[in-house]
Amino acid sequence: MKAKSHINKVFLGPPLFVLAVLALVPTIAAIIISFQNKELGRRGTSFVGFENYINLFSDRRFSNAMKVSLQWEAITVIGTMIVAILVAILLFETTRGRTRAIISTLLIVPVLLPRVTAAFVWKFMFNPLLGVINYPIKELTGAPIEFLSNIQTALISVAVVDIWQWGLFFAVILLKLLETLPKEPFEAARIDKARTWEIYAYVAIPMLAAPLISLTFVKMVESLRSFDLIYVMTRGGPGIVTETLDMYAFNQGFVESGRISYASAMAVLMLLTTIITFTVLFKWVRKWQTA
């Protein structure tokens, strides 16, 4: 028993120390910097109290960024789950054996791509002059659709790329989960002459409720990482309709003015929001799943 606690100390001690240092140092630094007026390329830094935070609340681009981030979360999480469920059922119903294995492998290709690649690939396809998506549109209507520079379509168009990557990946996971379900309830439902969609809506999906909620949670966390797509595809434009919080923080801290402190204040608020939200959600999901 003693030997076991020894191995735990050796195995857990160093990694937890490393993680704690790597995670806590930037977090504490972010908090300290957010109370200063640090700027790239300007000498002299002093503490300014809550000034950065107060300024944030009257900054329309900040409130816009919060709105865009929430929209992004909603669109990508819901879109991903819908695509995942539909495609998983489609695969489960129509394919067997080798075909299914090959298609499953193909469907995880998008998620493996670097997001920079995914973003470029789609940006090129959306291109009003050269894009393959716009080619049929031009043939039919005579004019291309400017997917990425139209205020109505820009955010959705970027979200399509995210759903392309994650929705198809989750479909494969869901398919594997469907395969693990017992056959009996399906057969019972079939004998009752339930329609296919009824079997899934009333039997299969409820049986998979727990993993579905876990997947939704994972997607909510991963959707925070929208930056790469938006950076390559729209840079937050047209105007600021796709400017998410991380894009705006990056713009403030790096590109437009190098206001590290102002960006740090944003980072701290994001940190607090995500940690609190996801901790509460996680504990809730845990409790719900074990109950």
Choice between 162 and 246, CB closer to another protein = 246
Q: Measured from the CB of residue 210, what is the shortest distance to another protein in angstroms?
A: 13
Query: Cβ of 113: how many Cβ atoms within 10 Å?
Result: 15
Q: Measured from the CB of residue 14, what is the shortest distance to another protein in angstroms?
A: 6
Choice between 115 and 162, CB closer to another protein = 115
Choice between 117 and 289, CB closer to another protein = 117
**In the chain, what is the straight-line distance between the N-terminal and C-terminal CA atoms, in Å?**
32
> Which residues have a Cβ under 8 Å from the Cβ of 31 and sit 6 or more positions away?
264, 268
Choice between 173 and 213, CB closer to another protein = 173
Residue/partner pairs of 41-49 with CB below 8 Å, 24 or more apart: 41/258, 42/258, 45/261, 48/261
Q: Measured from the CB of residue 213, what is the shortest distance to another protein in angstroms?
A: 15
The pair of structure tokens assigned to 236 is 């937050």
> Which residues have a Cβ under 8 Å from the Cβ of 278 and sit 6 or more positions away?
217, 220, 221
Compute the chain's Rg from CA coordinates. Answer: 24
Strand pairing partners for 36?
Answer: 47
Choice between 188 and 201, CB closer to another protein = 201
Q: Measured from the CB of residue 74, what is the shortest distance to another protein in angstroms?
A: 17
Q: Is 36 helix (H, G, I), strand (E, B) or coil?
A: strand
Q: Measured from the CB of residue 130, what is the shortest distance to another protein in angstroms?
A: 6
Q: Measured from the CB of residue 3, what is the shortest distance to another protein in angstroms?
A: 5
Choice between 146 and 210, CB closer to another protein = 146
For residue 116, what are the CA distances in angstroms to 56, 121, 161, 198, 243? 30, 9, 11, 40, 17
